[in-house]
């Protein structure tokens, strides 16, 4: 009898404690993998390289706050990239090596990455999200101002109006009410109101991505060029990309690419002569000496291209700013 009572007591305690123990056990979804997302800001990637270690058979999705207009690398056949609006899909073709990548956005920003390739790690997807906190703050302020304006309009629209008094038809007025003279109350003297003053803001040039200036003698057969700068110690690396939508072949030499600061030419180290066929494109880099050049200084870029068939010379001109020093 005593053992039966002890067994009953033990079962009762188990009944009370078991649901609580089950409720505190963590729940995990076996169908979800680890977190694949990494966050950056546009300010970080404008002055520092985002370090990406991409394994073969991996797919990396780079998401930006504005439309992607171009992707620049130093070598062909190393990465497979595809632009999709605000997103760039990146996959490795080789399984070793290191190369820089610059991504141009529609708002004029350039985002920098340093990519290290490695052997296959079994595939998988990585998600890079780049945000622009300054743009988010501006949008929030605009939304708040808009909401305040709408609230004021609604308040005025719902103000009740007093219905006009109606005179009963059966009792027309027998006499005309005597007009009353309004009471005169002393008022404050009318001070002169100053005329509205308008503050004239100085004209600020719009910041846009570098665009080539084509010589007037060859407007119908243009070349398209884009440039971006990256600093590596005392050396500047100038990235260029050329597109030839015309029907003729152009000849260029990147060692004859003129880059100057306040009219003073910088020494250029390139790979030499280039031939750009009709409908073709090419890209590459040249190195410049950065000694004594302050970050943020604009560099003038000028490059002459010879149309092989006609001998017409097209001059491409642009400006690109020296980036801020990269943090360690």
**Would residue 220 count as lying in a domain?**
yes
Residue 52, domain CATH: 2.60.40.2020
**Would residue 10 count as lying in a domain?**
no
Per-residue pLDDT of the chain (328 residues; tens, 9 = 90+): 555 555 555 555 545 444 444 444 456 788 888 899 999 999 999 999 999 999 998 999 999 999 999 999 988 889 999 999 999 999 999 989 999 999 999 999 999 999 999 998 888 999 999 999 887 666 665 555 555 545 444 444 444 445 555 544 555 555 555 555 555 444 444 445 445 444 443 443 443 434 433 333 333 447 888 889 887 777 888 889 999 998 889 999 988 888 888 888 888 888 889 899 998 998 889 888 777 788 888 889 999 988 888 888 888 888 888 887 655 4
Residue 306, domain CATH: 2.60.40.10
Q: What is the pLDDT of residue 320?
A: 87
pTM equals 0.41
Q: What is the pLDDT of residue 312?
A: 86
The 3-class SS string of the chain reads: CHHHHHHHHHHHHHHHHHHHHHHHCCCCCCCCCCCCEEEEEHHHHHHCCEEEEEECCEEEEEECCCCEEEEEECCCCCEEEEEECCEEEEEECCCCEEEEEEEEECCCCEEEEEEEEECCCCCEEEEEEEECHHHHHHHHHHHHHHHHHHHHHHHHHCCCCCCCCCCCCCCCCCCCCCCCCCCCCCCCCCCCCCCCCCCCCCCCCCCCCCCCCCCHHHCCCCCEEEEEEEEECCEEEEEEEEECCCCCCEEEEHHHCEEEECCEECCEECCCEEEECCCCEEEEEEEEECCCCCCCCEEEEEEEEEECCCCCEEEEEEEEECCCCCCC
Do the bridges between strand 79-84 and strand 97-105 make them parallel or antiparallel, or are there none, so unpaired?
unpaired
Whole-angstrom distance, CA of residue 226 vs CA of residue 83 = 17
Among 79, 99, 133, residue at a domain's last position: 133
Among 133, 164, 199, residue at a domain's last position: 133
Among 82, 108, 133, residue at a domain's last position: 133
Q: How many domains does the chain have?
A: 2
Tracing tokens 């309009």 back to the chain, one arrives at: 153
**Would residue 204 count as lying in a domain?**
no
**Would residue 249 count as lying in a domain?**
yes
Domain that holds residue 115: 37-133
Q: What is the pLDDT of residue 146?
A: 52
**Would residue 32 count as lying in a domain?**
no
97 has which bridge partners? 117
Q: What is the pLDDT of residue 155?
A: 42
């Amino acid at each position: 009898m005593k053992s039966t009572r002890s067994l009953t007591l033990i079962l009762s305690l188990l009944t009370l404690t078991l649901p609580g123990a089950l409720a505190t056990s963590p729940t995990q979804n076996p169908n979800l993998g680890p977190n694949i997302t990494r966050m950056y800001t546009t300010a970080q990637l404008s002055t520092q390289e985002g370090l990406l270690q991409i394994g073969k058979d991996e797919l990396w999705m780079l998401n930006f706050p504005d439309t992607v207009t171009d992707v620049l690398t130093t070598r062909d056949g190393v990465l497979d990239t595809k632009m999709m609006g605000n997103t760039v899909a990146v996959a490795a073709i080789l399984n070793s090596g290191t190369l820089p990548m610059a991504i141009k956005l529609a708002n004029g920003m350039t985002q920098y990455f340093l990519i290290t390739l490695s052997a296959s790690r079994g595939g998988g997807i990585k998600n890079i999200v780049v945000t622009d906190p300054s743009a988010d703050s501006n949008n929030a302020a605009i939304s708040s101002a808009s909401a305040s304006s709408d609230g004021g309009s609604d308040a005025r629209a719902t103000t009740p109006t007093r219905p006009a008094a109606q005179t009963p038809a059966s009792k027309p007025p027998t006499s005309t009410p005597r007009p009353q003279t309004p009471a005169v109350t002393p008022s404050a003297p009318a001070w002169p109101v100053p005329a509205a003053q308008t503050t004239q803001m100085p004209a600020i040039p719009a910041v846009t991505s570098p665009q080539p200036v084509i010589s007037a003698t060859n407007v119908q057969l243009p070349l398209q060029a884009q440039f971006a700068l990256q600093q590596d110690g005392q050396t500047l690396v100038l990235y260029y990309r050329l597109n030839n939508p015309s029907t003729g072949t152009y000849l260029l030499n990147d060692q004859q690419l003129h880059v100057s600061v306040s009219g003073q030419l910088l020494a250029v180290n390139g790979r030499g002569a280039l031939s750009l066929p009709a409908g073709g494109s090419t890209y590459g880099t040249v190195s410049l000496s950065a000694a004594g050049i302050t970050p943020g200084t604009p560099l003038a870029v000028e490059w002459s291209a010879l149309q092989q068939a006609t001998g017409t010379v097209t001059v491409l001109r642009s400006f690109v700013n020296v980036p801020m020093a990269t943090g360690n």
